[in-house]
Amino acid sequence: MFLKNISLFNFKNYENTTFEFSREINCIIGDNGLGKTNLLDAIHYLSLGKSMINTQDTFNIRHDELAFAVKGIFQKNDRSYKVSCGFQKSSKKTLMVNGEVCGRLSSHVGQFPVVVVGPQDQDLVWGGSEFRRKLFDSMLSQVDNVYLESLIRYSHYLTQRNAYLKGLSEGKPWDELLMDHFNHELSAQGRVIFEKREKFLDSFNEIFRKYYKMFTRKDERVEIKYKSGLRDHDFMQKLKENIEKDRILQRTTFGVHRDDYSFVLDDFPLKKYASQGQQKSFTIAVKLAKFEFMMNQCGYAPLLLFDDLFDKLDENRTEALLDLISKSPFEQVMITEAKYDRLQALLEKMGIAANMLKVDEN
């Protein structure tokens, strides 16, 4: 799959600009603050109907304007898809494919898959456990309906149990049967989630290690470890044991909603001991593994967007990575870079053909 072109109207710093892309590597070049990341974000809008940066659509409307629109043409399995996404202040967002309005955003997700590698990936290392759970949950939910169903049910009962705990502190009467019902549902769904997360990570680790080795060309041992309280404890038992604590804190303190994934390099936690370049290499390999995973699911290569690819990577890793992503199974790749000469020289040295797109002052 690839994106042939994109037009941006009043999107962030763009007034009305069109870019044409090639099927392989596209380098988006420009000085700081000219709109390279914004262009990637517009592509993200077409793929997933939302920004990769701002949670509120309003922030993406060009200052002093009332609406933005992004339009583009994807090519997939020899068919063209005209996709557009528009948003007007105090109105609903509209997403269209070949002239038809997508009723629900969720029906659009997965049609034009994209994987983004960028500075936000630091959150996977430095952010709270929710960032890591979200990454793995989104992948697992795409392939396993039972997992998705369990996750939805678990989250429903967790919300209910927490609301009930809050109610108790406000004087609601204790209801043993109701609490038993919550505990039973949480432990049943939690068990499914735990087992599936554990199994999934085994296969994901294999792909992840392959990519880490491929572009670092080092024998560093890397691993993602799944950490869950369910490994050593009976969930039901723990919910019962913790009830007094839960009542005081007004929330459920044990369960798979508190699971985490730890990133490990040569047996030490990545966050505490690894260099910035090693941390970045780690998250890049995670994203490349995600790419392969998604490709296996949908049967074609997702778009791959690299924001600030070269930052913190040494020459060896940069070259190895460029070499890797310029070949199959990677198809269309977008790379942002401020230094034209450096990138041009590197691509020439490596004999990689690329479409150079300059982002100018708008």
Residues at the interface with ligand ATP (CB under 6 A) = 12-13, 30, 32-38, 59-63, 336, 338
If the CB atoms of residues 47 and 60 are measured against ligand ATP, the closer one turns out to be 60
If the CB atoms of residues 244 and 361 are measured against ligand ATP, the closer one turns out to be 361
33: annotated binding-site residue?
Answer: yes
- Shortest separation between residue 34's beta carbon and ligand ATP, angstroms: 4
- Shortest separation between residue 246's beta carbon and ligand ATP, angstroms: 43
162: annotated binding-site residue?
Answer: no
The angle formed by the CA atoms of residues 53, 310 and 266, to the nearest 5 degrees, is: 95
If the CB atoms of residues 59 and 126 are measured against ligand ATP, the closer one turns out to be 59
**Cα separations in angstroms, 51 against 40, 75, 100, 116, 256:** 9, 21, 21, 11, 28
Burial pattern 20-39, b for ≥16 Cβ within 10 A else e, equals: ebeebbbbbbbeeebbbbbb
Q: Which of 162, 202, 198, 166 is nearest to 182 (CA)?
A: 162
31: annotated binding-site residue?
Answer: yes
Q: What amino acid occupies position 334?
A: M
- Shortest separation between residue 57's beta carbon and ligand ATP, angstroms: 11
What's the rounded Cα separation, in Å, for the pair 50 and 45?
A: 5
- Shortest separation between residue 357's beta carbon and ligand ATP, angstroms: 12
The angle formed by the CA atoms of residues 295, 260 and 310, to the nearest 5 degrees, is: 55
- Shortest separation between residue 61's beta carbon and ligand ATP, angstroms: 6
159: annotated binding-site residue?
Answer: no
If the CB atoms of residues 60 and 252 are measured against ligand ATP, the closer one turns out to be 60
Task: Decide if 2 contacts 74 (C-beta within 8 A).
Answer: yes
If the CB atoms of residues 36 and 290 are measured against ligand ATP, the closer one turns out to be 36
35: annotated binding-site residue?
Answer: yes
- Shortest separation between residue 11's beta carbon and ligand ATP, angstroms: 8
If the CB atoms of residues 84 and 336 are measured against ligand ATP, the closer one turns out to be 336
Sorted by sequence, the CB contacts under 8 Å of residue 294 that are 6+ apart come out as 113, 115, 139, 142, 302
Burial pattern 294-325, b for ≥16 Cβ within 10 A else e, equals: bbeeeeebbbbbbbbbbebbeeebbbbbbeeb
72: annotated binding-site residue?
Answer: no
Write out the binding residues for ATP: 30-37
Binding site, by residue number, is 30-37
